[in-house]
Amino acid sequence: MLTRIDHIGIACFDLDKTVEFYRATYGFEVFHTEVNEEQGVREAMLKINETSDGGASYLQLLEPTREDSAVGKWLAKNGEGVHHIAFGTADVDGAADDIRGKGVRVLYDEPRIGSMGSRITFLHPKDCHGVLTELVTSADPSSAEH
């Protein structure tokens, strides 16, 4: 079962400049930053609010660290903007299996490690009305590093 909008991923060319825009314009502060070598991105998570299921909702700003990464290719084709939407779930494996059973392609056979130690998988955008969709099970909050 999906419980919340976990985050909206926004692809950008310059992470620091984009973080500053969201800070100056909306007052959002960086909650967490990291480099994900496997996905080829440097990212900043800006917390928007807490949620009733103990999670939170974020904006995830993504700057590619290499041109051949998925985000790098996407930026080259589309420019800056909304890259994906992520829904939170207590069980990414179960949610992916359920959605796969409804005919939607799940991009990873097994969930991978995402931001802040979460477990993630993606759904094919062609099966989701053009929207790249991520499923996320958050890591134990006490284990997340800021």
Point out the residues that are catalytic.
7, 43, 60, 84, 134
Could you tell me which residues are beta bridge partners of residue 62?
11, 43
Distance CA 119, CA 21 (A): 29
Residue 43 one-letter amino acid: E
Cα 19 to its chain centre, rounded Å, is: 16
Q: Report long-range pairs for 46-55 (Cβ below 8 Å, ≥24 apart).
A: 46/19, 46/22, 51/3, 51/4, 51/88, 53/3, 53/4, 53/88, 53/90, 54/141, 55/3, 55/4, 55/6, 55/88, 55/138
Q: Is 67 helix (H, G, I), strand (E, B) or coil?
A: coil
